[in-house]
Structures are given as structure tokens and as C-alpha cells.
Amino acid sequence: MQFTFFIGGYFGSHFELVLKKGELTCFFSEKNGSDAAIKYIFSIEEDPDWQLLLQFLQTLKWKKHYDNGSLDGTQWSLKFRHKDIQLNSHGSNSYPNEFKKLLQLLNTICGKHGIPKIH
């Protein structure tokens, strides 16, 4: 399984999640490009909220690219591969309809480990 998610702005914070060997690694920084990124690592093997996220991801039919034409703002990307499902989508200041639900699910998972909310 592959899962990576990034969201951040040029002048703002950035947040990245990467799945490796049953553990989710989270990098959080108040300023994009900052050397002061906080790193969290936790297991998702027995997490029922992770299972809810997987079920949600398997229903998505997102386009590859979302963009509103603005140069500054928030960029994001999501790569997910599991069994026969593959999702590779990214955007700049534009989001698919279900994006808020994705953030809600990620905040539920990460919040249990003291990670600041993703906006």
C-alpha cells in the first residue's frame, strides 16, 4: 500500500503524511521550508479510523489536477495505491468536493497523537 499526503502554502505551514511499513510518519512545520519541522511516527495497524479512511479513499474519483489559476496560496497532493485502486491527485488553491471530508478523517487519525489540525 502507498499513501502520501501533503498540504501547505509558500508563506504558511506545511503538513506531510507518509505511510511506511504500517506506520504513518507526519512532518509538520509552521513555515514552509523550515528546518524546524516536527516529526511524529505512529502505527495505524489497529486503528479503526485508518480503516474508515481507506474505505473513503477507495470511493474517490478525483481528477489528476485542480487549479484555480492563482500562483500563491495552498498546494496539496495525495497519492494512494491499494490493491487495484490508484489515486494520484494534486492541486493549487482548488479542491475536489470531498476534500474537507479527507481532512476531517486525517485530523481524527492524527489528533489522537497530539498532531495539530490540518487546515
Angle at 41 between CA 22 and CA 5, to 5 degrees: 75
pTM over 0.75: yes
The CA-based dihedral angle spanning residues 27, 11, 116, 105, taken in that order and rounded to the nearest 10 degrees: -80
58-101 pLDDT, tens digit per residue, is 999 999 999 987 777 899 999 999 989 999 999 999 999 999 99
In this structure, which CATH number among 3.40.50.12780, 3.30.70.270, 3.30.1560.10, 3.90.1280.10 belongs to the domain 2-111? Answer: 3.30.1560.10
Share of the chain above pLDDT 70, in %: 94
| Averaged pLDDT score across all residues of the chain | 90
